Amino acid sequence: MSETFLGMPATAPRGVGHLRGDEPFPVAARRSLADAQLRRNLGHATATIRAKSAAVIDEVPDWQELRAAGRAIKTDVMARLPELLEQLEVAVTAAGGTVHWAADAVEANRIVTDLVRATGSDRVMKVKSMATQEIGLNEALEAAGIEPVETDLAELIVQLGRDKPSHILVPAIHRNRAEIREIFLREMPGVDPALTDEPATLAAAARRHLRRTFLSTRVAVSGANFAVAETGTLAVVESEGNGRMCLTLPDTLITVMGIEKIIPTWTDLEVFLQLLPRASTGERMNPYTSMWSGVAPGDGPQAFHLVLLDNGRSAVLADEVGRQALHCIRCSACLNVCPVYERTGGHAYGSVYPGPIGAVLSPQLTGVEDNASLPFASSLCGACFDACPVMIDIPSILVHLRAQHTAAYRSEHRLPSAEAITMAAAAYTMDHPQLYEAAQRAARVTRFAGRRGGGLPPPLSGWTIGRDLPQPPPQTFREWWAQR
């Protein structure tokens, strides 16, 4: 009997995985802003992706209708999630697969490690997977003496560079090709010392390096973009073909999937397979779309295991406002249009989920207080909402989470609401004309603080860190009226 029960919220455990940073966002962001090369890399990459995506989206006359359909499907999934997951389990089992339920990262890592050990293998090849990064699976496998090999080119660059991913879709977006060449020369066995930084040459070097892994490794670990409850079918979309190799060559395939990735029917795929490539890579369709249902005798992996991961998702589901974050299809469109992400990069967020979607998803998975600075890592400009292919209202969730943090802080320190204090003071001042006139005259002192409020004392100076201080008029209305 499963130990995972939807509707019993528990956040992701501490000390495992990559959902919590070592420092608050403002501290990490300042360091990123000082890295000129990082900002150039990010600016060039995000501008390129934005332009490609906009061009192919403009070709679709019913794009807004597709977005609305995607949102409707995801809303239906959240309303029926327990039922759909049980339907998926039945369908996968009937097709010869085995379903495992993991309450959190610790349990998921144990399940996958035990499954790999049971095969006798000491190495696994991996398809790019946000879920396995979230739970820290690579570290768990290495601790058990099992070598994980990333086969996605960008993930391989991150792994060889002993780095962390900084983008949902393009994990090595913070690296330029000269830096990638240096990583390959330093870390890739048997690489040509005369390797250049031409993209085709770098890709060919990676292909030669990975081909040995593809042909000699008997276990693969993947994520999943979608799982169809109706048929038990899993789907992975990618651009390089490494996923197809990992999903067809090994004897054993283990898929780790967040429980929110499920969709009800096969026909629902047609909506998302139009939305995802255009919003993510700026393509009309994904170059490789791989689907499989359980085990087919004599064809592909002969053992298939599906690990359904909660790890805080039930806690997100329990929040009527915040649960929209579970609609995310990991396209990264919100990152590519976000002015904050473009300037700070993904590492500043501290979580494997960066950018606007990370600012609303990570705090909910961990509990808001464990990622309290992330909901404030936004200008609330709304570009993310406009770009999201499933219409997640990220700005509203950000405001909702900010309110939760503020309420928790006030409760912990037994403080009255700052808004209530301000409004009470304003009401008293406006009710006493002489005091109100004195306040208007006193407001002129703020001229000496400058536009950014540098001359204001704490805590007032905190408000002006990210805002211009309004300049008072040279003459009040009362003074103007008296003159006339």
312-329 pLDDT, tens digit per residue, is 999 999 999 999 999 999
Range 433-439 average pLDDT: 87
Ranking 307-311, 365-369, 438-442 by mean pLDDT, the lowest is: 438-442
Distance of CA 221 to the CA centre of its chain: 20
Domain containing residue 276: CATH number: 3.40.50.10420
Q: Place 437 in a pLDDT band, splitting at 50, 70 and 90.
A: confident
Whole-angstrom CA distances from 285 to 56, 275, 288, 289, 404 are 10, 9, 9, 9, 40
Q: Place 419 in a pLDDT band, splitting at 50, 70 and 90.
A: low
Distance of CA 420 to the CA centre of its chain: 35
Position 431 in a domain: yes
Q: Are residues 236 and 129 in the same domain?
A: yes
Q: Place 1 in a pLDDT band, splitting at 50, 70 and 90.
A: very low
Q: Place 10 in a pLDDT band, splitting at 50, 70 and 90.
A: confident
Number of structural domains, the chain? 3
Range 99-103 average pLDDT: 96
Last-in-domain residue among 414, 446, 468 = 414
Q: Place 418 in a pLDDT band, splitting at 50, 70 and 90.
A: low
Is pLDDT at 454 greater than 60 in this prediction? Answer: no
Query: What pLDDT digit, counting tens, does each position of 170-217 carry?
Result: 888 888 899 999 999 999 988 999 999 999 999 999 999 999 889 999
Q: In the prediction, which pLDDT does 478 show?
A: 83
Position 285 in a domain: yes
Q: Place 56 in a pLDDT band, splitting at 50, 70 and 90.
A: very high
Position 213 in a domain: no
Range 232-249 average pLDDT: 93
Q: Place 407 in a pLDDT band, splitting at 50, 70 and 90.
A: confident
Is pLDDT at 239 greater than 70 in this prediction? Answer: yes
CA distance 21 to 152: 24
Q: Are residues 306 and 283 in the same domain?
A: yes
Round the average pLDDT of the chain to a whole number and report it: 91
The residues with which 221 forms a beta bridge, in sequence order, are 126, 254
Last-in-domain residue among 379, 397, 414 = 414
Position 268 in a domain: yes
If 0-12 CB within 10 Å is exposed, 13-18 middle and 19+ buried, where does residue 468 land?
exposed
Range 381-408 average pLDDT: 95
Q: In the prediction, which pLDDT does 4 show?
A: 42
Ranking 26-30, 63-67, 140-144, 454-458 by mean pLDDT, the lowest is: 454-458
CB 289 within 8 A of CB 36: no
pTM of the predicted model over 0.95: no
Last-in-domain residue among 262, 283, 314 = 314
Q: Are residues 246 and 272 in the same domain?
A: yes
Position 263 in a domain: yes
Which residue segment(s) compose the domain that 469 sits in? Answer: 423-483
